Structure 1
Amino acid sequence: MLWLFFILYISSRTAAFKVTVPTSRLVAVRGQSTVLGCEFTPYSSLDLSTLVVTWQKKKGDQVVHSFYYQRDQLDRQNLNYWNRTSLFNTELKKGNASLRIEAVGPYDVGEYVCLVSNSQGTDKAQVQLEYGAFYTEPRLSIWISGSNVTLQYVAEGFPKPEVLWLDDQGQNLNHNTEVIEGPNGALGLYYVRSSYVTQDPTVNATFILMNKLLNQHLQRPVNLIYGENNTRCGASRLAVFLSIMCCLLFVSMVILLLKLPKNHCKATQRGQVS
């Protein structure tokens, strides 16, 4: 019977020790830091000399960060994480084994394993890290060729966005959208170029870009009037301007002609006196 109680005692201690993660899926933003949460069952007499915390990336069993013998052990750390990771060492006695990663990039995407071991037992938990980049402010270009007008927006971000063009009634407009991976060699970015072509002299369109991973919603309205009406208007303004200039020229010539006889008479009188 004693051996049965011993097994039950050991089992109860092992079962009492648990490693958990606050969330099994985490989204990190390009260039920013992120914290992979991990907690283990603490106890009052925790001795850090028996504590081992290891973070690994599941793919390839890459060592991301290790702690044992009461200090960080980074000799076996994967070079991609060099000088970019840290634990909250002062929180270890409270059961906090969370990992901080600086300057997140696309190579950090994957499943991570938090493994904790001490005199109370051993357990592990997993967290999936995803990556996104907020799209830049869309840049607008406009080309007019004959009766065609082309509106084009470009922006960079990650992942692939959803792009819409809507008219003033909220109806979808036909458009052409290109998504190019890695513009100018930039890893983890998509270059989006979206254009809408119309022959309507009055343009009321709205460009919409959505990055659902990061809950980003960009909406940019475009209002443009061009074509024959503008040409006629411009011609009318030119005609008015030319008419005014002709009138001013005519008045100037009349004034000049009126002054000429007086000056001529004065010159004749001087000649007679002399």
Structure 2
Amino acid sequence: MNTETQGGHNRAKYLLHVLIVWGLALLSDAFEDPVPETTLIGIHRQSIVLGCSFPVNDGSPLEHTIITWQRVENNEVVHSYYYVKDQLNYQSEQYSGRTSLFPEEFKHGNASLKLDGVKAEDAGRYICFVSTISGTTKEIVFLKFAAYYKDPQLLIKLQLSSATFILESQGYPEASILWYCAEDKNLLLRPNISFVPSEDGLYTLQTTLEVDNTKAICSHVVEIQNYLVNQTVARKFNLLFPQHSFQEDGIYKKWWIVLSSCMLVFVAIIALLLVIYTRQPMKMEEKTKCEVI
């Protein structure tokens, strides 16, 4: 038998074995309770281990062990192992170069899968099938995707009588946004909020709050809360300084007008007194001259 024929025969044996595993799994579903799901949270661009265990007997050979990880939604092959090595010919392109098992742990009944560089499209249900001479085992893992929100960037636009806060960040999933006064947390403000999907599957957050400087007397606080990963990002902004500067400019202008008016009146009085004073000596000098004559 040539090499190509032997390879085809091996693939046929593997496919037959997989069909048997699936058949046994379906039969077990009909007579057993559903397999409980394990829920995990995968963080953007980090690695995660999807757990899967199977029973082993001391001294039992592992060369007949078949391990297959697949997506429940579309049956895509995530990773497969048989003939004592990884078999990735049928692996979905989405997972190429990103998955690995722990062969040294097989003797302990550990068929866990390591997934590197978690992405948004990795979210979903994964099923692990393990077939040994002792029987068939399956487990399901529900993987959720999350990304920590980045340190927000803030832009402040100041107008004569108002100020606008524009805050941007990025993360996943949609976060809860709160704006309130630090002096009274129950005084919630109403900003504009938008979440726009980005190319890498994350959400770009933009929240805008416009404040009237003549009415706002509080330190403004914004909170970004990502409950899936228990993350809270808070920033505090104080509008009192720009508000007071506007008010003080108006006060200074009023005082300058009043002071200028007072100075004009004072100068006018001085000028009038000088005129009166200069005329009185002239009259006395004329009278003296008349008497001498």
Partner SS state of residue 61, structure 1: coil
Alignment correspondent of 1:190: 203
Shift of 1:23: 6.4
Distance of 2:134 and 2:230 partners within structure 1 = 42
Q: CA deviation at 1:146?
A: 2.5
Residue number in structure 1 paired with 2:229: 214
Partner of 2:114: 100
> What CA distance in whole angstroms lies between the structure 2 residues aligned with 1:101 and 1:123?
21
Structure 1: gaps spanning 5 or more residues = 1-14, 16-20, 239-274
Q: 1:226 to 1:51 in 2, by over 3 A?
A: same
Match of 1:58 among 72, 84, 106: 72
Displacement of 1:144: 1.4
Residues 188 and 89 (structure 1 numbering): CA distance in 2 closer, same or farther, change over 3 Å?
same
Q: 1:191 to 1:45 in 2, by over 3 A?
A: same
Q: C-alpha displacement at 1:229, in angstroms?
A: 3.0
The answer to whether the aligner puts 1:116 opposite 2:130 as a matched pair is yes
Give the equivalent residue in structure 2 for 1:79.
93
8 A contact 1:22–1:38 mirrored in 2: no
Which structure 1 residue ranges, 4+ long, deviate > 4 Å from structure 2? 232-236
How far apart in 1 are the matches of 2:36 and 2:105?
16
Question: Of residues 240, 247, 254 in structure 2, which corresponds to 1:229?
Answer: 247
Shift in alpha-carbon separation, 1:55–1:233, aligned structure 2, 3 A: farther
Paired residues of 1:162 and 1:210 also in contact (CA < 8 A): yes
Q: 1:119 to 1:219 in 2, by over 3 A?
A: same
Please tell me whether Structure 1 or Structure 2 has the larger radius of gyration of its CA atoms. 2
Q: TM-score, normalised by structure 1?
A: 0.74
Gaps of 5+ in 2: 1-27, 29-34, 257-293
**Shift of residue 187, structure 1, vs aligned partner:** 2.4
1:234–1:101: structure 2 CA closer, same or farther, 3 Å change rule? farther
| Partner residue in 1 for 2:176 | 162
- The alignment covers a number of residue pairs equal to 215
State the 1:231 CA deviation.
2.5
Q: Alpha carbon RMSD of aligned pairs, Å? A: 2.2
| Alpha-carbon spacing, 1:206–1:104, altered in 2? closer, same or farther (3 Å) | same
- Give, in whole Å, the separation in 1 of the partners of 2:71 and 2:230: 27
Amino acid at match of 2:223: I
Query: Percent identity between the aligned chains?
Result: 33
Q: 1:26 to 1:76 in 2, by over 3 A?
A: same
